[in-house]
Structure 1
């Protein structure tokens, strides 16, 4: 991700490759979760990744466990994050500053903004 423009990332984020990359990223969230940092946190975080089509994943944090599922439930999320493919990949690879992304409207957050501000401390985010 480092060194690539948003357009370059968007060019490669299509079809089967996009599906595979999103699946890998969300599949690793459970393993990269830091239960000690989350403490008694209980939250549903909805990720809306836009691009060639919108894909929704939900991350549930409760009782020191993180679970991830593809798709949207009827449960109200405490936090919803919406961004394009390039912004998402920058964010989860540690190559994007979430505050800057919000200010430049590449990342839209609704709901518990305090949760959004501290989200990175609940996961080991690799630098790539």
Structure 2
């Protein structure tokens, strides 16, 4: 035994291991592999406190680079993301003029669609490890507003593959 895993429950050292990660240095593909290797319970365990803030900040921070303007064409839309868990975090993605801007918090703008999901579901969705239609049908992903826009969001971003 290497001294790890002495806490009861799987993933006892998981938060410690991931908190040491420099998320800025992790490629989207590597992030997708990390998420794929964790259970929903483990993903939930990871998403607490400062580590949750860092993970959400990094994921939303990369959306601009992952955006595919050629796929979005002349789309203009404000997408509000509500990530539930230990607290509700709100981010917004504004797509207009072939550009994507991401902001933390709720703006005064009226979103065309709002996506509400838990931490684990969010990580699975943005890492390409979750099927948005299945998540919607099983009520793990709630959509308010333009469901058609929500169902096509993945084509506007380069989603990593694990």
Shared fold, TM over 0.5: yes
Match of 2:153 in 1: 119
Give, in whole Å, the separation in 1 of the partners of 2:80 and 2:137.
20
Match of 2:57 in 1: 23
Structure 2 unaligned regions, length at least 5:
1-34
Match of 1:74 among 87, 108, 111: 108
Residue-pair matches, total: 128
- Deviation at residue 127 of structure 1 after TM alignment: 1.8
- Answer 1 or 2: which has greater strand percent: 1
Give, in whole Å, the separation in 1 of the partners of 2:80 and 2:36.
25
- SS of alignment partner, residue 36 of structure 2: coil
- Deviation at residue 3 of structure 1 after TM alignment: 3.2
Match of 1:12 among 38, 41, 46: 46
- Deviation at residue 87 of structure 1 after TM alignment: 0.1
Match of 1:54 in 2: 88
Larger radius of gyration, structure 1 or 2? 2
What is the TM-score of this pair, normalised by structure 1?
0.98
Structure 1 unaligned regions, length at least 5:
none
Q: Which has the higher contact order (CA 8 A, sep 6+)?
A: 1
- Deviation at residue 12 of structure 1 after TM alignment: 1.0
